[in-house]
Amino acid sequence: MGAREVTVLGAGVVGVASACWLQSDGHRVTLVDRAEPGEATSSGNAGILSPGSVVPVAMPGLLAKVPGWLMDPAAPLSLRWQYLPQAAPWLLRFLLASRRSRVERIADALRPLLGGTFEAWGRLARAAGCSDLINPSGYMAVYESEAAWQSDALAWSLRRERGVRLEPLDAAAIRELDPDLAPIYPRGVLLPEQGHVANPLWLTRRLFAHFMASGGRFERLQVEDFEPGPRGPRALLGSGRRLPAETLVLAAGVHSARLAARLGTSVPLESQRGYHVHFPEPGIAPRMPVMSGEFKFFVTPMADGLRNAGTVEIAGLDAPPTAARIEALVRHTRRMYPRVNMDGMREWMGHRPCTPDSLPVIGRATGCPDVFLAFGHGHTGLCGAAPTARLIADLVAGRTPFIDPEPYRPTRFRMLAR
């Protein structure tokens, strides 16, 4: 297959990484976004690059936890009452994905994609001259209570069984790795083969700058609809404009499902809202990110400060941020790092684009051979962006893909569950 005119809709980390990879294959690429590149969900994440992230969000025992999610708006996972009717169809699929046999298969499917995180990011970052932003620091998870440790047993064995290197830590080893941590963690795990980025927004911006310097084009447009053609849309439509298109990659994050539906492919996608608090002058400098086993947030040392990011809230796209969640992150940061300086703290909320089975959607749109879908990366879109870009480039070129794309196929939601 020769060089094509490719339009990538969505300039988050997935879209920009895909645009760069397609461009390096010789295609003429146009990125389209209604906003500046990288500024949506891709800007505020925890920055973790984790090839070992094989654990889906929906795990066995989910159903019993739902009442708790509804009761406590500051819980690590919460569900807003008012949004329940709208979320119900997605939640049903989410519940079905939590069966043990399904969880094993999902972990098997995540491993080859995310396992390629460092190799694919390495290639992109070297080409863009931003390898300095990629830090193979490892990370550690720390636990305050035996109960929390026990309840994560399956998650750790899913990782271990798929070759993720795990090193158990006792209280002394944890303190040695991070002397600023409060002495409240008797148990932890070091994952030495993981890492983080110095700042996720800077990473997307640097890739984008490289893309433009290498002849890429950028169009600022709020895309509302498509002008149909025989193999996909002939043009993108919005704000009274018509932007001609040939081959299209749809990478519009949490907004992708609505656009994919206009193209005839139905994908259940829900926002799992996440939050961060960012401290520009924390006065401490942990050498690696730390995950709280109890509360499931990451505290990540970034080039411009310390960030505590995480938690899940299912409340839709339109509801305002929940103040109690920010307060909880602040409280937990103080408990973890009693000496942290919180002056100048910034707050943020973003929308993770989540499928019920925690697997992204990567592949051709139904009935549109010139449309490729690349969204739904949920909690691992920063890691997954570079290997996704590689896979999309393989599919657009028509060459043998570097991994089997079957588990990510857009049509897998036709049936409620396999």
Which residues would be at the binding site for ligand FAD (CB under 6 A)? Answer: 10-15, 32-35, 40-42, 45-48, 222-223, 251-255, 274-276, 298, 309-310, 350, 352-353, 375, 377-383
Is the CB of 260 or the CB of 416 nearer to ligand FAD? Answer: 260
Contact 48, 383 (CB under 8 A): yes
- Can you say whether the dihedral through the CA atoms of 207, 211, 213, 214 is positive or negative? positive
| Cα dihedral: 129, 4, 31, 245 (round 10) | 180
Is the CB of 218 or the CB of 413 nearer to ligand FAD? Answer: 218
Q: How far is the CB of 381 from ligand FAD (least distance, A)?
A: 2
Give the CB-side neighbour count of residue 46, counting CA atoms within 13 A. 28
What are the strands, taking DSSP E only, across 240-367? 241-244, 247-250, 270-279, 290-292, 297-302, 305-314, 346-354, 361-365
Is the CB of 169 or the CB of 329 nearer to ligand FAD? Answer: 329
Q: Which amino acid is at 375?
A: F
Q: How far is the CB of 171 from ligand FAD (least distance, A)?
A: 26
Contact 158, 54 (CB under 8 A): yes
Q: How far is the CB of 2 from ligand FAD (least distance, A)?
A: 27
Is the CB of 32 or the CB of 74 nearer to ligand FAD? Answer: 32
Q: How far is the CB of 20 from ligand FAD (least distance, A)?
A: 13
Is the CB of 131 or the CB of 150 nearer to ligand FAD? Answer: 131
Is the CB of 61 or the CB of 262 nearer to ligand FAD? Answer: 262
Q: How far is the CB of 382 from ligand FAD (least distance, A)?
A: 3
Closest among 387, 183, 290, 63 to 374, alpha carbons compared: 387
Contact 177, 137 (CB under 8 A): no
Which residue in the block uniquely carries the two structure tokens 């896979």?
A: 391
